[in-house]
Amino acid sequence: MKRIFIGIFGLFSVMFCVSLFAHGITGPDQAFLLSNVGTQIGVFIYLGAKHMVTGYDHLLFLAGVIFFLYRLKDVAVYVTLFAIGHSITLLLGVLGGLHVNSYIVDAIIGLSIVYKAFENVGGFSQMGLRINTKAAVLIFGFFHGFGLATKLQDLAISEEGLLPNMLSFNLGVEVGQLLALSVILVAFNFWRPTQSFIKHAYTVNIVLMGSGFILIGYQLTGYFLA
């Protein structure tokens, strides 16, 4: 039981700490996007999936969202709302040319992690507040989509083939999200029936909340020093 808890705790910690500096589109992927002209559906699906799988901020939020969701139907509803939200703003940002400050958006994404963890530990109910959780996931999904868009906007992708390429990238994001979510769900399903889950669920959400605060601080520092 203890090993399961340590494994999940380690997953959160490693995902956040290692990816903090790696998250984004860099190296060969960046070089491809800067030089690519024309439609490249397969490559953009791959890039979208890779970006989501390595997107520690998106995955930490999703982990918080499904932490206490036991029915697959409920998981599907919340993940669909999140997908709708980030798909709209991803495409609106890149295709519609709507630019936002990447540091501010990523700080709000960090806030989304804090919000979900705080909700999971009963923070809002203790304050006498009732939050529409579905609306919150959709709204934060919009900001996560802008976070994805800013990574692409910085690269000034070619206008030729932009629409099919962005639709492909968005499809890849959904594929990557499903793959990562499946792994998280399997881990949770092994952990939830144990006494360790009841004992350590609060602690894990506090760690999740702390990760969100670290991300907020990191992004705001970048904003003020930029």
Residue 101 CA to residue 161 CA, distance in Å, equals 25
- CA dihedral over 60, 62, 65, 71, signed as positive or negative: negative
Is the model's pLDDT at 7 over the cut of 60? Answer: no
Q: Where are the domains of the chain?
A: 2-225
Q: What is the mean pLDDT of residues 44-72?
A: 91
Vertex 88, ends 49 and 53: CA angle to 5°? 20
Q: How far is CA 213 from CA 7, 113, 145, 183, in A?
A: 22, 8, 20, 25
Residue 10 is encoded by which pair of tokens? 């380690």
pLDDT of amino acid 145: 93
pLDDT tens digits, 185-213: 999 999 999 999 989 999 999 999 999 99
127 within 8 A of 60, measured Cβ to Cβ: no
pLDDT tens digits, 105-163: 999 999 999 999 999 999 999 998 999 999 999 999 999 999 889 888 877 777 888 89
pLDDT band at 24 (very low <50, low <70, confident <90, very high): low
